[in-house]
Chains A and B, each alone.
Chain A
Amino acid sequence: MKRELNINHLTRVEGHGAVNIVIENEMLKEIKLRFTEGPRFFEFITRERLYSEIPKIVSRICGICYVSHRLASSLAVEDAFGVKVTPEIELLRKLLVVGEYLESHALHLYFLALPDYMGYPSAIAMAKDYPNIVRRGFFIKEVGNRIMKLIGGKTVHGENILPGGFKSVPSVDDLKKVQEDLHRVLPEIKATISLFDSLDYPEFNDPHELQMCVEADDPLSFGDKVTLSDGTVFTKQEYELFVEEKVSDYSTAKCSTIKEKPFLIGPLARVNHYADRLLEGTKKQLFLLKNSFPSSNSLHANLARAIEILEFALRGIEITEVLINASPFKGEVPVAPKKGTGFGVKEAPRGTLYHRYSFDDTGRCVSANIITPTAQLQAVIERDLKSLVERSKEASDEELKKRAEMLIRAYDP
């Protein structure tokens, strides 16, 4: 008996995707996660452009995690030209990332994921019965937006984020406002953690053989190394030697593996890895939860997101304190082009992100390579879908589709 399941248009995910599942005689025959997005040729359109144009162009890869793309490309440019930024610029960048995570994770949690668990088609529909819950999502998102607008210049695609730092920096008053906002959002974030801890996550424990994230002192830092859960640590220069990208014959996203295996990235991989290094304030919340970390249930990526925004908001408050004391400070260091190749690795909200550029001696881009979380997630989502289907053969088509969608949304590829 042959059973075919097709989800032709995944909804409530950024981008366009489809899933095809074929089961024959109770055996899983085929699983394909297809990204059907049109290509945008970033590795080609950056060529011949001056280094100063690069962050602006690649920012447009994603409107939700543009800060990460802008920073990863700026880090790569600085790496190529041997530029070192000041500790204040580094802190301001981290504060910007706090904004990005608040907005991206809140969008994900409340607008993309939560409707599934609450039984609604969208957050907008949910707002009729749960106006305060939806407002909470909007509020956390708004605080993130304000930070991005303040530091970046616009909420989406802020042009003030450049190689070498920022053309202008926030005033002491602005930083105090950010601090107040972060204090005000803390109770909402804690409520978010409780809400996501209380949801009914289907039992789904198929340990991830390999997990990956940036290696640094804390999850907000931009390290130069990447760590794998099997103990391997590799440098950003070695990234392409570990993460192997293949062009897929059914998806427009490339598909990555490490040592021929799918690997987990993103909030769950990060919280699993950084659990011991979280701030005391975050750890205290973690003790109160009924779920625990490290976890191998991919759906717990949602709870991990809620924990990350608490961690980041707390770190954001510390950062504003340091910056207020350091004010006024310079936002920019000079950048002078030279021939060479630079690498930028960063944790984007959805997972590790990699940018590499080579420049000629006038600072014009000769070649580029960008490895996005989407490409790296394709294989691990397919692996998860496989194990989901194998466990839920009794489920009706309708039910199976629903579970598959929930799983994919937990990754938000």
Chain B
Amino acid sequence: MVKIGIMGLTGCSGCQCEILNCEEAIYRLIEKVEISYFPLAQDNNSFGEFEILFVEGSVTTEEDERKVKEGRERAKFLVAVGSCACYGGVQSQRNDEASLEEMLLAVYGRKELPVKVQKPRAVSEVVKVDYELPGCPLDKRQFVYAVASILNGVKPFFPKIPVCHECKLSETECLTLKGIPCQGPVTFAGCGAPCTASGVGCQGCRGNCDFPNFEEMVEILKKNGLSTGDAVKFLKVFRGYQSKEIKLSEGVVENEKGA
């Protein structure tokens, strides 16, 4: 039987919980494959060869790095699940603002911890990743679709269209037009836009769609009550290393003064 593994690095286990929420899919899966590694859910784990290895969480310790490198060597396909694994996660949102020492001092009052700590990184910043299923947490329908595709030798494909597209499909009234800050126009769809449906603007948890226009996005967020600085921080929460793409021209930043 082919083997699959589910590994957790530094994260909240929310993505692994979403996987455990796929009740029917799990029953069908265990008829066809062996889940040989899944420490959150079982104790007989073996770290052998994997057809697919799913990785949740960001690389934040030396041990995380060692584990994911070893996993990479043993896996035919490595799939990063969730925004921690895909982009670095909420824990990496201030990577460009502070040093590791500063963060450690602020939280622990010391520069070193009993484990060797690094700045949180996405899995793809450390090893080659075959597929990414972003989201915080990942979407369980996409997980089921990806597993089925890979096991059947088909490449899973998720077009990087913006979340706005899904509002249109589900006939959700646009929040931006109502003055509510929403990141839908620059965010990778696939979740079905559950947040905008409850009246909360998209928080950008799935990272960038193709060709995001951040400059325009910041202008719109400003119209909806945020300052330039708050708009940029709002955009950064889940984007991890992708935040580097948020470049604003002088004019946009100028407006910040007095805001």
Contacts and interface: CB of A to CB of B under 8 A. Distances in A.
A53 B197 contact: no
Contact of A66 (B10, B14, B103, B205): B14
B230 A167 contact: no
B44 A121 contact: yes
Contact of A160 (B9, B39, B200): B200
Nearest to B191: A154
A404 B199 CA distance: 47
A229 interface: no
B169 interface: no
Nearest to A14: B13
A60 B83 CA distance: 11
B114 A159 contact: no
A376 interface: no
Interface centre among B27, B44, B200 (most CB of A within 10 A): B200
Contacts of A63: 11-18, 137
A9 B14 CA distance: 20
Contacts of A248: 114
B38 A53 contact: no
Contact of A252 (B35, B91, B115, B198): B115
B30 A124 contact: yes
Interface stretch (B57-65, B123-131, B247-255): B57-65
Given A41-B106, A64-B17, A247-B108, A122 B43 contact: yes
B195 A60 contact: no
B23 interface: yes
Interface string A154-168: 111111101000111
A38 B117 contact: yes
B14 A157 contact: yes
A44 B197 contact: no
A14 B203 contact: no
A37 B10 contact: yes
A124 B100 CA distance: 40
B120 interface: yes
A357 interface: no
Nearest to A405: B43
A254 B15 CA distance: 25
Interface extent on B, as a size class? 35 or more
A62 B195 contact: no
Nearest to A9: B39
B11 to A, nearest CB: 8
B12 A38 contact: no
Interface string B103-121: 1101111100111010010
Interface centre among B40, B98, B205 (most CB of A within 10 A): B40
Contacts of B12: 60-63, 66
B203 A154 contact: no
A11 interface: yes
B42 interface: yes
B42 A62 contact: no
A154 B195 contact: yes
A62 B13 contact: yes
Interface in B178-215: 194-195, 197-200, 203, 205
Interface string B23-64: 100110010000100111111110000000000011011011
A100 B57 CA distance: 22
B162 interface: no
A402 B38 CA distance: 19
A45 interface: yes
Contact of B115 (A15, A36, A42): A36
Interface in A20-61: 34, 36-45, 47-50, 53, 56-57, 60-61
A167 B91 contact: no
Contacts of B71: none
B13 A247 contact: no
A167 B200 contact: yes
Contact of B42 (A14, A50, A124): A124
Interface centre among A162, A166, A168, A252 (most CB of B within 10 A): A252
A11 B44 CA distance: 9
Interface centre among A38, A43, A154, A160 (most CB of B within 10 A): A38
Contacts of B9: 38
Contacts of A162: 200
B191 to A, nearest CB: 8
Contact of B23 (A48, A53, A57, A138): A138
8 contacts: A14-B13, A39-B10, A39-B104, A57-B237, A60-B14, A160-B195, A252-B113, A252-B114
